[in-house]
Structure 1
Amino acid sequence: METTRLSSKGQLILPKWLRDRYNWREGDEFIVIDTGHGVMLEPSRPFAPARLDEVMAIIAYDGPAYTVEEMDEAVAASFRKGDDDRD
């Protein structure tokens, strides 16, 4: 178990391994929940939960169907290239 220290500005540093594990980056927002025994941080979600049919309606595709292999290769190529939607 690691420890961290509260700064004079009320800031805590979350360990790097934890930030990496959850892909948290500078500027991410969190909801602070008082549990009565301490606090819990929960990442803030920018969008309200949606049903699959609501989401699929906005991403209609009229072209030819892709195979699973083609989709897998596109995802792998994106990772190799280092694409990141969060920038």
Structure 2
Amino acid sequence: METRLSSKGQIVIPRRIRQNHGWEPGVAFTIVEDGDSLILRPLVAKKGVDLSEVVGCAGYRGEKKSLAEMDAGVLEEARRQAEKWSR
């Protein structure tokens, strides 16, 4: 497969390659020099996470706890763990 560098410094990536990789117009790349070769790596946009997607992800199904109750529970477990490791 062959392509040429245009007078503007552009290279056409053949359709078959673009389709195989799912590259649409506007995809951004990082170019890595490797000796006499170039490696194109598409930049993957990081998808933001909406709070509603992660609320309740710990699987707790019980009664809602206050901040003071949660702090007390963490402290109690820390004491249990400290006891366990001090034996």
Q: TM-score range by the shorter chain?
A: 0.5 to 0.7
Identical residues among aligned pairs (%): 31
Normalised by the size of structure 1, how large is the TM-score? 0.53
Partner Cα separation in structure 2 for residue 12 and residue 22 of structure 1: 17
Taking the aligned partners of 2:41 and 2:52, their CA distance within structure 1 comes to 28
Number of matched residues? 54
Runs of at least 5 residues in structure 2 that lack an aligned partner in the other structure: 57-87
SS of the residue corresponding to residue 19 of structure 2 reads: helix
* TM-score normalized by the length of structure 2: 0.53
- SS of match in other structure, 2:31: strand
Q: Secondary structure at the match of 2:53?
A: coil
Normalized per residue, which structure has more helix?
Answer: 2
The two structures, once aligned, show a CA RMSD in angstroms of 2.5
Aligned letter for 2:37? G
**Runs of 4+ in structure 1 displaced over 4 angstroms?**
none
In structure 2, distance between residues paired with 1:61 and 1:17: 42
Structure 1 residue 43, shift from structure 2 partner: 0.4
SS of 1:32's partner is strand
Q: What is the CA distance between 1:60 and its match in structure 2? A: 4.7
Instruction: Identify the residue that residue 69 of structure 2 maps to in structure 1.
Output: none
1:22 corresponds to which residue?
A: 21
Structure 2 letter corresponding to 1:3: E
Say which one has the larger Rg: 2
Structure 1 residue 58 displacement after superposition: 5.3
Q: Structure 1, unaligned stretches of length 5 or more?
A: 49-54, 63-87
